[in-house]
Structure 1
Amino acid sequence: MGLAEQKLVMDMVAWASNVSSSVMIIFVNKILMNTTGYGFKYATTLCALHYMACSISIWITQAVGGVKKVTLPFTDLLLFTATANMSIVTLNLSLMINRVGFYQIAKLLIVPFVCLVERFWLQRHFSRPVITSILVVVAGVGIVTVTDVQMGDNMLGLIVAGLSVVSSGMQQIFCRTMQQKHGLSSHELLSNTAPAQGWTLMLLGPFLDRYVSAGWVFNYDWNVPALTFLALSCACAVGVNVSQFMCLGRFSAVSYQVLGHSKTMLVLLGGWLFLGDQIGLKQFGGMALAVVGMVAYGITSNQKTGPPKEKPSETVSLLGKEKGGETRVDIQVHAGSQGKFGNAKKEEV
């Protein structure tokens, strides 16, 4: 087998692994947390177990010399950990409270939110086609949201979904900012932040879950089927992060957009086929409109443009890591805008 064929095989393995693990974790978590499933309604503790599983896989990789150890300044680590914890907790709460379809469509709002922050924080100017595509996404999500609220009067689910969008968008921004400032790969950043997130969520999880669910995780019925799904959920979390690392730098921006859209469509289809999500005509139209807007955004945001006239800039990509899907956003960060963070230290294993 030649080098070209080997690369094609590895690309297909990376693509399939990322899609399957990202889609599977959503349905495994939904079955695990749903009252009609195993009733594990402790979203924060579940997040902690995910990150502890990822930490163990990273420690094993470091032990065999596959990844460098990274030491981040405490303030940077604290800021990122707090934001990332809020993101993953609210995402899992949204998945627990809302339908799978609404959960997945609401996540598309992360892109408009990040663009809004970049517009006012980094003074990025968007082209008219990009703005139009973003407005199409917002309109589609708005239709789905209004329909869901009217059908179920689920204001709590709407609020949690909104918090997940804001926190996930900020996590994406901080993630790329720290990677740029400290010169880290995504896997090196994860090797430092995953243990911090795992331990903090493990300590806070039972108390937060007690407040949200009115029950202690320690009183859960730890039967074999539930433990099996819990272990499968943790395995999927590790699979998402490993496949994410395999995909980084392997695909172009447009290819990564297609990867994200394929996962969105599979999640929506799976929710309808396997979890009994009821999709009316208005909801289907809103979902289709939101996905079309995302596809248009992927095309227009990756079109070549002329060099900036005022300030030098470098093109970067924000890659959101969620349990259950990723969103890639191409932005421009003006030089000198990353100066809030300290220096990272790398140690060879």
Structure 2
Amino acid sequence: MAVKQGQTTSVLPAQSPSEKPDASTSDDPPYLEVAGVIAFNFFSSTGIVSANKLVFQGGFGFAVTLTFIHFVCTTLGLLLLARLGVFTPKRLDIRKAFKLAVAGTGFVVFSNLSLKHNSIGFYQVMKHMTVVGVVIIEALVFRKFLSTTFLGALATMCVGVLITGATDFRLNAVGTLFALANILCTSFYQIWCGSLQKSLEANPLQLQLYIAPLSALSIIPVLPIFDNYSPYSPDSIFHFAPTTRNVSSILLTGALALCVNVSIFLLIGKTSAVTYNVVGNGKTAFLFCVDFLIFRRPFEPANVFGMALTLAGVVWYTQLKLKARAEAEKAEKSSAS
């Protein structure tokens, strides 16, 4: 995703996983195929976060330029997949797609900037605050209110994030501002993405084929604002010393960005809503472990408790959401019959 977001700040969010029923049928795909799809999504989604962090720590500190590279790689990859017949492109209203592309650009740019300036643990818990952002925006802008049943889960998430942030060893004002900006952009992106897919009747890959190149174009004017493009500065991108290792790492993140988009599409199509959300929660737990084991995050009990509380809130919210969706579908079937 380009990188997501998470939700992890996927790269680009796909359509809701609720479209496929949870009950097993005789037409279910083979277990090995499902396992392969789950593994593909899990390792590409967690891999891109870790790979981006390594690129930043390796000396390439140009987060917005890296985002631009991700969008270019995603565009080229989607064109190749369309050529191979993986999906069929669809002509869409470019004006509607451009609005989503701008929001998507903001969400991916601020996601990478948040990852650059924050620890993986704080980056990940702040990504989950997108749920709260969506709830607030829908209430204030669209007058759509969430049931009080979900308030306990949301409160648990918020308390967990506050504890994690207050005890984070890399807490800083710049990183926090980028994380908050990421929540705002991602919230609007997810709201518009869901409504636009329905109105255009397009699947995620068809929509992304428009969004990725438009996002790449819209990000060009802001490159000199966030990254150093001054030819006279020793820290500018023009003085970055490319090596086989760091160029390969950058291109790897671009390939992973494409893999994340494709794997989300495959996971939604091959499994159920429960599987999709369980895998998502598993990715969060895994990234917490990566932060401690690979990036040497200091072990502090209060900080670990904050992360665990956030994850517990996410799991609680997910279960309530799935239950509410199942009840709504059951009621809809009953009224139809």
Task: Confirm whether residue 109 of structure 1 aligns to residue 132 of structure 2.
Answer: no
Checking the alignment, whether the CA contact within 8 Å between 1:67 and 1:188 is kept in structure 2 is yes
1:9 Cα deviation after fit: 1.7
1:249 Cα deviation after fit: 3.0
Residues 307 and 90 from structure 1, CA distance in 2 versus in 1: closer, same or farther, beyond 3 angstroms? closer
Per-residue deviation, residues 300-336 of structure 1 (Å, max 9, x unmatched)? 111147669xxx99xxxxxxxxxxxxxxxxxxxxxxx
1:12 Cα deviation after fit: 0.8
| Letter aligned with residue 193 of structure 1 | I
SS in 1 for 2:219: helix
Q: How many angstroms apart in 1 are the aligned matches of 2:262 and 2:170?
A: 37
Q: Name stretches of at least 5 consecutive residues in structure 1 with no aligned partner.
A: 314-349
Alignment of 1:100-179 (within 5 A): 100-148=120-168, 151-152=169-170, 154-179=172-197
| Letter aligned with residue 227 of structure 2 | D
Per-residue deviation, residues 31-87 of structure 1 (Å, max 9, x unmatched)? 1102xxx11011111111111111111111222343333333343222112111111
Residues 257 and 6 from structure 1, CA distance in 2 versus in 1: closer, same or farther, beyond 3 angstroms? closer
| Letter aligned with residue 8 of structure 1 | Y
1:119 Cα deviation after fit: 3.0
Q: How many angstroms apart in 2 are the aligned matches of 1:30 and 1:102?
A: 13
Q: How many angstroms apart in 2 are the aligned matches of 1:249 and 1:242?
A: 11
Q: How many angstroms apart in 1 are the aligned matches of 2:250 and 2:221?
A: 19
Task: Confirm whether residue 56 of structure 1 aligns to residue 76 of structure 2.
Answer: yes
1:225 Cα deviation after fit: 1.1
1:203 Cα deviation after fit: 5.4
1:116 Cα deviation after fit: 2.0
Q: How many angstroms apart in 2 are the aligned matches of 1:59 and 1:307?
A: 38
The structure where strand makes up a greater share of residues is 1
Per-residue deviation, residues 146-196 of structure 1 (Å, max 9, x unmatched)? 223xx5551111111111111111111111111011111011100111111
Q: How many angstroms apart in 1 are the aligned matches of 2:245 and 2:37?
A: 30
| Letter aligned with residue 303 of structure 1 | K
Tell me which residue corresponds to 1:41. Answer: 61
Tell me which residue corresponds to 1:187. Answer: 205
Tell me which residue corresponds to 2:256. Answer: 236
SS in 1 for 2:90: strand
The structure where helix makes up a greater share of residues is 2
Task: Confirm whether residue 291 of structure 1 aligns to residue 314 of structure 2.
Answer: no
Checking the alignment, whether the CA contact within 8 Å between 1:70 and 1:192 is kept in structure 2 is no
Task: Confirm whether residue 264 of structure 1 aligns to residue 284 of structure 2.
Answer: yes
Residues 63 and 4 from structure 1, CA distance in 2 versus in 1: closer, same or farther, beyond 3 angstroms? closer
Checking the alignment, whether the CA contact within 8 Å between 2:268 and 2:276 is kept in structure 1 is no
1:251 Cα deviation after fit: 2.6
Q: How many angstroms apart in 2 are the aligned matches of 1:195 and 1:163?
A: 22
1:129 Cα deviation after fit: 3.1
SS in 2 for 1:199: helix
Alignment of 1:271-286 (within 5 A): 271-286=291-306
Checking the alignment, whether the CA contact within 8 Å between 1:45 and 1:206 is kept in structure 2 is no
TM-score, length-normalised on structure 2? 0.83
TM-score, length-normalised on structure 1? 0.80
1:259 Cα deviation after fit: 1.0
Q: Please give the root-mean-square deviation of Cα atoms over the aligned residues, in Å.
A: 2.5
Aligned residues: 303
1:127 Cα deviation after fit: 3.2
SS in 2 for 1:269: helix
